[in-house]
Structure 1
Amino acid sequence: MKTPPPAPALPTLDDMPGHTIRRLQQIAVGIFMDETSALNITPVQFAMLFAAAQQAGLDQRTLAGKVGLDTSTIGAVVDRLEGRALIERKVSPDDKRVRLLSVTPAGLDLLNTAMPAMLAAQERMLAPLPPADRPVFMAMVKSIVEQNGAWSRGAKEAG
């Protein structure tokens, strides 16, 4: 009787990119929340306000694509931001089903107040890397996101 070949060695959990990326995301959120704790803003809310401030009059679907969220999630976040008078929705003159978003003066004030804390959070996230490696790391992460972007919930919904 022939002995079956040994099973291949499995990687450890810490060697799996998905697990490590999920942990990195948890750390990024934790650092952001620590730096912005006095401001009552989440990373997703910041990203939405920032993107909407960069391009006035975005519709929710386009904003969802820019920040990588599905439209049902973005609707709930916009509801919260609108409830805090940080963003407002207006009906598009071209299509009554479309809501155009604009950041209110209070939203712009919050963005301006949050910017130093957000930048400090970004610095803390990359602090374990030598300064020369940080652009390389960011380029690699961006490449992974760009090459696999079709797998995000927001992209799958838009497709």
Structure 2
Amino acid sequence: MAEPLLDIHGLPGHLIRRLNQIAVAQFMEKMGEIAVDLTPVQYSALCAVKSHPGIDQASIAGLIAYDRATLGKVIDRLEAKGLVSRKVSPQDRRARVVKLTKSGQELLQQVHPVVRAAQGDILTGLDNVEQAQFIALMQKTIQIGNESSRAPQRELGETG
């Protein structure tokens, strides 16, 4: 006879944390299969830089909803890997602007299709309609709760 579930197994916060663990594990497994050393947050940061060449670190943090201090360390690692370059912003001497290097562009071209193809695996067990519904409900909840986050998502130029 199976043990009864703990009270936490029906709590949204616990379930979201578990789904995040699963998603990260699957991402890391896929990166391992193609021998790429990249985390989900590093991938998100690279995507933000690709979409906005010359973006500053604070704006990257806002776009991917990550705290600024930790994002600086993420960018440090990406720079050490030769995937991005940084320089002082000509508009604001306190800001550092970030650009993809040729290696960063090539890596994104390599991993982007792998990441895209793996997305359905995260929601294994849900059919296409259920996956779309689940994603729409997550987006709605995130949009409504965005300001409650320690690192709210921000669009470029948006302050909070």
User: What is the TM-score normalised by the length of structure 2?
Assistant: 0.87
- Tell me the equivalent position of 2:26: 31
Deviation at 1:126, TM superposition (A): 2.2
Matches within 5 A, 1:5-154: 12-37=7-32, 38-154=35-151
DSSP 3-state at the match of 1:153: coil
1:47-83 per-residue CA deviation (whole Å, 9 max, x = no partner) reads: 0001110111111111001111111100000000001
CA offset digits 1:64-121 (Å, max 9, x no partner): 0111111110000000000111011111111111111111110011111111221122
Structure 1 or 2, whichever has the larger Rg, is 1
SS at match of 2:152: helix
Structure 1 residues without counterparts, runs of 5 or longer = 1-10
Aligned length: 148
- What SS is found at the alignment partner of 1:31? helix
Q: Structure 2: state its 5+ residue gaps.
A: 1-5, 154-158
Q: Which stretches of structure 1, 4 residues or longer, exceed 3 Å deviation after superposition? A: none
Q: Give the share of equivalent positions with the same residue, in percent.
A: 39
Distance 1:134 1:70 in 2: 28
Secondary structure at 1:85's aligned position in 2?
coil
